[in-house]
């Protein structure tokens, strides 16, 4: 289950999310290519080497979509909300 979760985070970091205003981190990559990249990290490393700022954009996107990067203070405040 953890590997699938990481794959989902990487897919969203690569493809971005228009509804959350997160841009793509890799140029000319759609769903099919992103799935290949996630299944073979050497392809991801190659994209980082060949596309300017790809690693930087990917790292930012990963932080935006990975809930484990939410600071504890915000998690504590969120847990107090009545939803």
> In terms of Cα–Cα distance, which of 2, 6, 3 is closest to 66?
6
Q: What is the pLDDT of residue 54?
A: 97
In 14-70, beta strands by DSSP E? none
Q: What is the pLDDT of residues 1-22, one digit of tens each?
A: 667 788 999 999 999 999 999 9
Q: What is the pLDDT of residues 38-62, one digit of tens each?
A: 999 999 999 999 999 999 999 999 9
Helix axes 41-50, 54-65, angle to 10 degrees: 130
Using an 8 Å Cβ cutoff, are 22 and 65 in contact? yes
Q: pTM, whole model, 2 decimals?
A: 0.80
- Residue 22, classed as helix, strand or coil, is strand
């Amino acid at each position: 289950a953890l590997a699938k979760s990481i794959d989902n985070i990487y897919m969203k970091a690569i493809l971005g999310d228009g509804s959350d205003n997160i841009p793509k981190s890799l140029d000319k990559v759609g769903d099919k290519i992103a799935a290949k990249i996630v299944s073979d990290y050497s392809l991801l490393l190659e994209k980082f080497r060949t596309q300017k700022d790809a690693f930087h954009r990917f790292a930012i996107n990963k932080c935006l979509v990975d809930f484990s990067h939410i600071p504890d203070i915000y998690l504590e405040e969120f847990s107090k909300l009545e939803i």
